[in-house]
Amino acid sequence: MTSLVGHFKGQLTGQLKLLFGLPVSSMTGGLLPASRKPRRNGNSKKRDLLLEERARGLLHPLAPKLAPLVSVGWNSRMRTTAGVAIAARWEVWLNPALKEISEAEVEKTLLHELAHLLAQHRHGRRRLSPHGREWRESCRDLGIPDEKRTHQLPFVGRRMRRRYQLRCPGCGESHTRVRRPRRRIACLACCRTHSGGAYDNRFRFQVIEIGE
């Protein structure tokens, strides 16, 4: 009987892998979504539990379901960027150089990036303008109603050649980047005009490598 059960477990496990392409931990553990896999941040990123607690406390009155999901830390690879918010994983990473400027700048940048997460949480999977109306509303709710889109901090950056051009096949809008995008991205203006703000593969940016 034991061998028969094991046989069927093996068959079902194989079918689940074939159908969904997802790792199966065990029959009792079920499917393990790829998004749940632990990420390897290397030595460049380090979580800050005190800042994380601060961020969760700020968010809890506004978005209690979002607050416990947020993680905050420092990214030593940042040069001219003060901070970044990654809504897909509810992460905020800050430039360690902020600590050399003032605690006030750390707090301000944290709130700026949390506003991005809060705006995305409120509007689900809808594509948002990075510093549009939804972000400004979140800034007001977090107590920074006059927050600017960009900072004017004295960071010293490295000069890196922009090697890739991103061009929209719809409107022709283009941008240049240092690195090739790792995921599919589309023109926000065209997606808003023709698809109500949802991702539309017709307007996926074409990636062109720029020669020397």
Q: Tell me, what CATH number does 70's domain have? A: 3.30.2010.10
pLDDT attached to residue 142 = 97
Structural domain contains residue 49: yes
Q: How many domains does the chain have?
A: 3
Structural domain contains residue 64: yes
Judgement on whether residues 51 and 32 belong to the same structural domain of the protein: no
Judgement on whether residues 91 and 170 belong to the same structural domain of the protein: no
Judgement on whether residues 54 and 137 belong to the same structural domain of the protein: yes
pLDDT attached to residue 127 = 85
pLDDT attached to residue 13 = 45
pLDDT attached to residue 96 = 92
Which residues of the chain carry a pLDDT beneath 70?
Answer: 1-42, 151-152, 154-160, 211-212
Structural domain contains residue 151: no
Spell out the residues 6+ positions from residue 94 whose beta carbon is closer than 8 angstroms to its own. 51, 72, 73, 74, 75, 78, 82, 83, 106, 109, 110, 113
Report the predicted TM-score, pTM, of the whole model to 2 decimal places.
0.58
What does each C-alpha distance from 100 to 41, 155, 202 come to in angstroms?
A: 23, 11, 45
Burial of 129 (C-beta count, 10 Å sphere; 0-12/13-18/19+): middle
Judgement on whether residues 20 and 59 belong to the same structural domain of the protein: no
- pLDDT tens, position by position, 179-190: 888 888 889 889
**CA 56 to chain centroid:** 17
Judgement on whether residues 119 and 57 belong to the same structural domain of the protein: yes
